Amino acid sequence: MKINLKRIFAVISLLVLATICLQVYWNYKNYLSNKERIKNEVQIAYDKAIETYFDEDSKENFISIVSKDSTTKVEDLIHVIKLDSKLRKQFIKLKKTDAINANAPNKIKKLVKNQKNTHPINIKAVKVEEISSIQILKGKKAIDSIGGLENFPSKITMSFKNDSIKYKMLDSIFKVELDRKNIALNYEIKHLKNDTLIYTYLKSKAKLPLQIVPNSVYFKNEETLNLNYDYSNSLLIKRIGNELLLSLLFSLAIIGCLFFLLYIIKKQKKIDEIKNDFINNITHEFKTPITTIATALEGMSIFNPENNLEKNKKYIAISFNQLYKLENMVEKILETATLNSKELQLNLENINLIVLIKSIIEKHQDISKKQITFEFEKEELYIRADSFYLENAISNLIDNAIKYGGNNVQINCFQTDKTTIIKVKDNGNSILKSQEKLIFEKFYRIPKGNIHNIKGHGIGLYFAKTIVEKHFGTIELTITNKTIFKITLPND
């Protein structure tokens, strides 16, 4: 099936765009949700602060009428409420003399009648003992001084709301609520009555765009304490930071997977093209010797009816030569197939590298008209290596230099303290910088369009690299005015 990379790239790009848009939309909705949540939290904190403020204020502005006598009724406490302290004292004094002074009740009535802002009292219903046992306590300190209200079985408590607002006290309570919710605000409190501004506490120089109207029953009609506020975007980012981070990681993971998929598809397409190219090349390589052998056999059977021994020897030599080429090609393919397997075991031995390279050069010099020179420092240079595989690796480099390089091929071999270095140079420039790393891949051949004037399978450099690495060495390519393949092997 033909792979259309442009269409695949377009589909992946659309998926990436859709993923990004979805994440942006989700994060925007999360952002709006958290804005609304902060607004609600500020509203709750402010309402609670106002409620706490009035509760605390009422503790300082209340009167409790208490009695230690459990038989005291609520009506008795109400009677005492109607009498002020001066009247109570006179009432008790007159009541005590009531038995010897017949005019005492009349005097009491006169006292009550003359007392301003008092309601009619049933004097006969009020007893001296009850009034004596009843106390009027004003404020929390007075209650604390007698050990608390729980010590009195009969009591009435009345609280009074102060018309004036203690802004500092309200502000401190509000800050405690904000700290508890981890909210940092820039705010001001505006006291309004009948929509007229009375006072602004903590007046801000900056414009505060957000406003809260408290939900409280403690205010008089047409009176309120509005809160104008604003907060930093860092508060929102801090709240949605984890979600943003997860969203970013999720998006990057999806985008990374999609582009990794594109990379794999592209790589598989490239491998498929290289494989097809390899099959085409190897088919042509196999076809030539097969055709030559068939021609030789045909010549022996058809064009040699007299059974001339000289002609037969010639045809047989041609056939053997072509069979040898076929055998070499099959060996290379089989060797390449086992390079990465554990079955490939190197037979390490001490070999004279100079002698090995000379023998390789002689083989190539017999079949090539190009000049091959060899430079070395001494006649004996021993290393531990597998002579068979290392010979093939060096031979592949020389073969490439002859096929694709210039007219001159130069080999250098020398030794340092820790390494042995082999360089194969040619004066050709057929390898581009962009292909320096690619040429060591299996089956890779430098693209030449439809030109197949030089036969090859794309496995020679791959074979050389693998064998050198199995000897714990390295191979690298340097392209200057010359093409240089450098093999570095450890001395140990």
262 CB-near residues (< 8 Å, 6+ apart): 5, 8, 9, 12
Confidence of residue 143 (pLDDT cuts 50, 70, 90): low
User: What is the structure's pLDDT at 307?
Assistant: 72
pLDDT in tens, 9-28: 888 888 888 888 988 898 88
- Looking at per-residue pLDDT, the higher value among 444 and 286 belongs to 286
Mean pLDDT, residues 167-194 taken together: 92
- Judge whether 479 and 431 are in contact, CB under 8 Å: yes
User: What is the structure's pLDDT at 265?
Assistant: 85
Residue 357 exposure: Cα atoms within 13 Å on the Cβ side: 25
Q: Of 120-129, 169-178, 421-430, give the range with the top mean pLDDT.
A: 169-178
Confidence of residue 251 (pLDDT cuts 50, 70, 90): confident
Distances from the Cα of 253 to the Cαs of 12, 13, 22, 29, in angstroms? Answer: 14, 15, 14, 22
Mean pLDDT, residues 32-58 taken together: 89
User: What is the structure's pLDDT at 458?
Assistant: 64
- Judge whether 107 and 94 are in contact, CB under 8 Å: yes
CB atoms within 10 A of CB 117: 6
Amino acid letter, 434? S
Report residue 284 as tokens: 């042509």
Confidence of residue 223 (pLDDT cuts 50, 70, 90): confident
264 CB-near residues (< 8 Å, 6+ apart): none
How many Å apart are CA 304 and CA 298, to the nearest integer? 9
User: What is the structure's pLDDT at 451?
Assistant: 43
Between the CA atoms of 24, 25, 28 and 33, what dihedral angle is there, to the nearest 10 degrees? -140
How many Å apart are CA 77 and CA 64, to the nearest integer? 10
pLDDT in tens, 378-395: 888 999 998 888 888 898
How many Å apart are CA 299 and CA 138, to the nearest integer? 138
Provide the percentage of residues in the chain whose pLDDT is more than 70.
Answer: 70
**Burial readout 327-352 (b: 16 or more C-beta within 10 A, e: otherwise):** eeeeebeebbeebeeeeeeeeeeebe
Ramachandran bin of 147, using left for φ above 0, alpha for ψ from -120 to 50, beta for the remaining angles: left
Provide the percentage of residues in the chain whose pLDDT is more than 90.
Answer: 20
The answer on pLDDT for 74 being more than 80 is: no
DSSP state of 378: -
Distances from the Cα of 83 to the Cαs of 104, 126, 143, in angstroms? Answer: 17, 11, 21
The answer on pLDDT for 204 being more than 80 is: yes
Q: What does the chain come to in residues? A: 492
The answer on pLDDT for 124 being more than 90 is: no
Radius of gyration of the chain (CA): 54
How many Å apart are CA 165 and CA 171, to the nearest integer? 11
User: What is the structure's pLDDT at 179?
Assistant: 93
Mean pLDDT, residues 234-258 taken together: 86
Amino acid letter, 329? M
Identify the three-state secondary structure at position 443: coil
The mean pLDDT value of the chain amounts to 77
Report residue 446 as tokens: 């430098």
Q: Of 27-36, 120-129, 235-244, 274-283, give the range with the top mean pLDDT.
A: 27-36
Query: What's 194-255 look like in SS3?
Result: CCEEEEEECCCCCCCCEEECCCCCCCCCCEEEEEEEECCHHHHHHHHHHHHHHHHHHHHHHH
Confidence of residue 191 (pLDDT cuts 50, 70, 90): very high
- Looking at per-residue pLDDT, the higher value among 110 and 44 belongs to 44
- Judge whether 441 and 462 are in contact, CB under 8 Å: yes
Give the CATH number of domain 237-338.
1.10.287.130
Domain boundaries, the chain: 5-58+164-231, 62-159, 237-338, 349-490
pLDDT in tens, 399-418: 888 887 778 889 999 998 89
User: What is the structure's pLDDT at 132?
Assistant: 56
- Looking at per-residue pLDDT, the higher value among 454 and 414 belongs to 414
User: What is the structure's pLDDT at 117?
Assistant: 44
The answer on pLDDT for 176 being more than 90 is: yes
What is the value of pTM for the model shown?
A: 0.46
User: What is the structure's pLDDT at 456?
Assistant: 53
Amino acid letter, 58? S
The answer on pLDDT for 339 being more than 80 is: no
Phi/psi of residue 442, each to 5°? -65, 135
Mean pLDDT, residues 421-444 taken together: 75
- Looking at per-residue pLDDT, the higher value among 87 and 484 belongs to 484
For residue 487, list its beta bridge partners. 422, 475
Task: Give the least confident one: 37-51, 62-76, 81-95.
Answer: 81-95
For residue 383, list its beta bridge partners. 351
Distances from the Cα of 184 to the Cαs of 22, 41, 174, 214, in angstroms? Answer: 31, 12, 11, 19
Between the CA atoms of 456, 459, 461 and 467, what dihedral angle is there, to the nearest 10 degrees? -150
- Domain 349-490 falls under CATH 3.40.50.11540: no
Residue 213 exposure: Cα atoms within 13 Å on the Cβ side: 8
Mean pLDDT, residues 302-313 taken together: 73
The answer on pLDDT for 247 being more than 80 is: yes
Mean pLDDT, residues 440-455 taken together: 57
Distances from the Cα of 434 to the Cαs of 88, 438, 478, in angstroms? Answer: 112, 8, 12
Mean pLDDT, residues 484-488 taken together: 91
DSSP state of 103: T
Task: Give the least confident one: 217-221, 224-228, 466-470.
Answer: 217-221
- Listing from the earlier edge strand, what are the strands of the sheet with 62-67? 134-138, 62-67, 154-159
- Looking at per-residue pLDDT, the higher value among 238 and 451 belongs to 238
Confidence of residue 83 (pLDDT cuts 50, 70, 90): low
How many Å apart are CA 189 and CA 49, to the nearest integer? 12
User: What is the structure's pLDDT at 450?
Assistant: 43
- Judge whether 397 and 424 are in contact, CB under 8 Å: yes
Nearest to 430 by CA among 402, 410, 457: 402
Dihedral of CA 105/109/115/117: which sign? positive
The answer on pLDDT for 120 being more than 50 is: no
Q: How is 317-333 classified by DSSP, letter by letter? A: HHHHHHHHHHHHHHHHH
